[in-house]
Structure 1
Amino acid sequence: MRAAVGAAALAPLAACSVPGARKHVPTGAAEVAAAVRDFWDGKRKTGKLDFANYTQYIDADPADQSRHPTLEAFTRSTGIRITYNELIDDDASWFGKTQPEFASGQGIGYDLMVVGSDSYLTKYIELGCLAPLDHSRLPNFARYGGAAFKNSSFDRGNVHTVPWQSGMTGIGYDPAKVGRKITSWQDLLDPGLRGKVGMWNDAVQMGNVALLAVGADPETSTPDDWRRAAGWLRKQRDAGMVRSYSTATYQSALQRGDLWASLVYSGDVFQANQSGSKLEFVIPEEGGLLWTDNLCIPATAAHPVDALAYMDYAYRPEVAAKITETVQFICPVPAARDVIARDAAAATGERRAVLRSLSTSPLVFPSEADESKLRRLRVLDQAEEKQWNALFEPIYQA
């Protein structure tokens, strides 16, 4: 579902309306309030919305995958016509495509887009590419958004984003192959798993999980911590533990038995088990990662009021439930769980079983205990990103 991204080398950065210059990002309450007033003053609903998303990342009619019932219901209730485009393959390529368009001042042709909570989102914010959100028009987010999805380190106060979907990065494994419980990142150094471990060709995720493995909190980590984390990954590689570094093939390799344990997204394990696998997902005792894909409005949007209306609509529990029933990643609206349970009670056969599993799965609705073990990814500035990449990219590129 969610395209994996890394901290790939980027084209030179230019602010979205002033080429070659970074924007001042509003931080204090007064600055944010002024920015919101300046952006939204005089803007009105137009009845049109252009939405860019990842592929297969919204609800779909089982009989016709091109139909998205929640989008159709939004148009019926608001009169806003949506042009929905599944154009985003990964954050790196999308940034590479849109940043020059932003810098030209001509806009990118979309009013709403989904961006992951990684270094690319930070770049969009720093360059002034995203509209500051008017939270007075987001009452559903205020009421129904989960506490874990508000005020994140990558966007304090949700000034520019609200979560779309979320997930956990941890360890997925086949207990029948491993023969025991996996509980720690250190288990991925166990000689009994030599040549059967999957890791990723993704400097962002790899670096952050390695920080957890060496006992550092990614959000507050230092360059000394990064060097220790890179050393842990080199030790794993040099011991022959890793069969492959791939974000694209690990799920199928786990299901085939080529891998016995791997770095995984929680939603991929849930989906694999719905297809008959018997994998387990664990948040290691040192902690796992919580990542978020986010809705944001380009500062150049032609129809921003319509985009903001959709943002709030997506936080209605009944809407969030329908999206989760298809996407099957972590839902940022906890109240959607009861809606899915009611849908399960009204369903029959295989669909009833799937919906029951969704409503009770800690991979879709994590418990408070699980949430307490999750950490956010390190937010890197441009200089830090260069240092980070120099440490972590050679591990899987060698």
Structure 2
Amino acid sequence: MSRRTLLRALGAGAGAAALAGCGVPAAYVAPRDRSAPDRSERDHRLAFANWPLYIDTDQKHPERRPTLDDFEKSTGISVKYTEEINDNDEFFGKISPALMNHQQTGRDIIVVSDWMASRYVRLGWVQTMDRAAQPHVARELDPLLRGASFDPGRLHTVPWQSGITGIAYNRKKLGREIRHTSDLWADDLRGKVTLLAGMDEAFALLMLGNGADVTRWTADDFHRMTDQLRTLVRKRHIRRFTGNDYIKDLSSGDVLACQAYSGDIIQLQADNPDIEFVVPQEGAELWAESLMIPNLAAHKRNAERLIDYYYQPEVAARLAVAVNYVCPVPAAREVLASSKEKELAELAGNPLVFPTEDMRGRLSTARDMTPKERPAFTKEWNEIVGL
């Protein structure tokens, strides 16, 4: 089962997200108020909140997580691991009251999508990490993921896993290749295409298809894209806007092509080799879900050690095998390629886990939507999508 099949496209915490998007002054926490006395040296534990199905597990004992177990054995640090994040907005709403009121969240590490991480960083709700204590992160982090516009130098965030939002299609049923985003608008795909409903998940690929530079997109780029969508909706070319349930439509054949996440398609291809995933010639978005240490975390040093542990290529390789997302540690590819196990060696050559140089040249990360832009753009998007 794909991790994303369990997640909703939009969360119940939209009101809280709007608060962050507006950058309410009273919610901002100054740097001097973000840290608490660190108990790591005398209290060998930490609390790690993550998404479901986002870590390696033992097949015979699903409650065991081998990489975490090994970390605990080698360091003596006990990890309380909870799969409590099902939606970015919902989780934001869950912990925002504590953060805005200068209280501990009870968590030392959290993982959220970068478009949401930007809000935490902007509000001053996460701590700066000590990179001198994280040599593997400093050395091994993929250069494509280092330049987050919302977090220069990645001082507050470290990618846990990454992925590509591109196009998936059934090549056998469609009877042709898809190489460009504009190929989705061909007459033979009328009523057989779905797009993602979430604005932050969807807009970059669509803008790229129109030739925009998403690293510095403009309001004109956004409106050009939404005008195009209105026309396609009016013509009933787009079957519907989806959450992660596009997987079912693509598998059944009700949909022949769709906007999709790379990690999902690896799962589908295992059952249906006719499913293809493409990074369009105009480009696709590379995104990440990142680790952060929230304000007043009581075990910051322990958290930094765990984050750095996962950037050891051998450990990153084990995680890549389990979750099948784009690995943020390129050196993990060589670890897998040298394996005597055929499946592991083959995974090293999978471009959806380790993108080829050609694909890497077509990947980019969209600049974040500003607090001033977000309300109007969200309203316009939701009117089109029907949210």
User: What TM-score does the superposition give when structure 2 sets the normalisation length?
Assistant: 0.92
Aligned residue number for residue 314 of structure 1 = 310
Q: What is the CA-CA distance between 1:397 and the residue it aligns to?
A: 0.6
CA distance in 2, matches of 1:64, 1:237: 47
Give, as a single letter, the amino acid of the residue that structure 1 aligns with 2:203.
G
1:284 partnered with 2:276: no
Q: 1:67 to 1:10 in 2, by over 3 A?
A: same
Query: What are the Cα deviations for residues 140-187 of structure 1, in whole angstroms up to 9, with x where unaligned?
Result: 011222211212223110110111000001100000111111011111
How many residue pairs get aligned? The number is 378
Query: What are the Cα deviations for residues 254-278 of structure 1, in whole angstroms up to 9, with x where unaligned?
Result: 1111110000001111111123342
Aligned residue number for residue 373 of structure 1 = 362
Q: What is the CA-CA distance between 1:285 and the residue it aligns to?
A: 1.3
Q: Judge conservation of contact 2:337–2:346 (CA < 8 Å) in 1.
A: no
CA distance in 2, matches of 1:218, 1:318: 33
**Structure 1 unpaired stretches of 5+:** 26-34
Query: What are the Cα deviations for residues 231-255 of structure 1, in whole angstroms up to 9, with x where unaligned?
Result: 1111222221222211221112111
CA distance in 2, matches of 1:4, 1:224: 30
Give, as a single letter, the amino acid of the residue that structure 2 aligns with 1:275.
D
CA distance in 1, matches of 2:269, 2:346: 10
Q: Secondary structure at the residue paired with 1:13?
A: helix
Q: Judge conservation of contact 1:188–1:241 (CA < 8 Å) in 2.
A: no
> After superposition, where does 1:295-306 map in structure 2 within 5 Å?
295-306=291-302
Give, as a single letter, the amino acid of the residue that structure 1 aligns with 2:292.
C
CA distance in 2, matches of 1:5, 1:116: 12
1:168 partnered with 2:164: yes
CA distance in 2, matches of 1:217, 1:298: 32
Q: Secondary structure at the residue paired with 2:84?
A: strand
Q: Judge conservation of contact 2:284–2:362 (CA < 8 Å) in 1.
A: yes
Aligned residue number for residue 329 of structure 2 = 333
Aligned residue number for residue 28 of structure 2 = 22
Aligned residue number for residue 30 of structure 1 = none
Q: What is the CA-CA distance between 1:385 and the residue it aligns to?
A: 0.8
CA distance in 2, matches of 1:327, 1:9: 28
CA distance in 2, matches of 1:306, 1:220: 37
Q: What is the CA-CA distance between 1:21 and the residue it aligns to?
A: 4.0
**Which of 72, 91, 94 is 2:69 aligned to?**
72
**Which of 46, 70, 76 is 1:49 aligned to?**
46
Q: Over the residues paired in the alignment, what is the CA RMSD in angstroms?
A: 2.3
Q: What is the CA-CA distance between 1:228 and the residue it aligns to?
A: 0.5
1:382 partnered with 2:379: no
Q: Secondary structure at the residue paired with 2:132?
A: helix
Q: Judge conservation of contact 1:213–1:229 (CA < 8 Å) in 2.
A: no
**Which of 256, 263, 266 is 1:260 aligned to?**
256
CA distance in 1, matches of 2:224, 2:348: 39
Q: 1:293 to 1:4 in 2, by over 3 A?
A: farther
The alignment-based identity, stated in percent, is 37
Aligned residue number for residue 235 of structure 2 = 239
**Which of 196, 199, 215 is 1:200 aligned to?**
196
Q: 1:196 to 1:135 in 2, by over 3 A?
A: same
Q: 1:156 to 1:14 in 2, by over 3 A?
A: closer
CA distance in 1, matches of 2:36, 2:104: 17
User: What TM-score does the superposition give when structure 1 sets the normalisation length?
Assistant: 0.89
Q: Judge conservation of contact 1:200–1:263 (CA < 8 Å) in 2.
A: yes
Query: What are the Cα deviations for residues 312-340 of structure 1, in whole angstroms up to 9, with x where unaligned?
Result: 00001111011111100000111111222
Q: Judge conservation of contact 1:4–1:202 (CA < 8 Å) in 2.
A: no
Q: What is the CA-CA distance between 1:24 and the residue it aligns to?
A: 5.6
Aligned residue number for residue 358 of structure 1 = 347
Q: What is the CA-CA distance between 1:23 and the residue it aligns to?
A: 4.1
Q: Judge conservation of contact 1:214–1:232 (CA < 8 Å) in 2.
A: no
Give, as a single letter, the amino acid of the residue that structure 1 aligns with 2:15.
L
Give, as a single letter, the amino acid of the residue that structure 1 aligns with 2:131.
H
Q: What is the CA-CA distance between 1:214 and the residue it aligns to?
A: 1.8
**Structure 2 unpaired stretches of 5+:** none
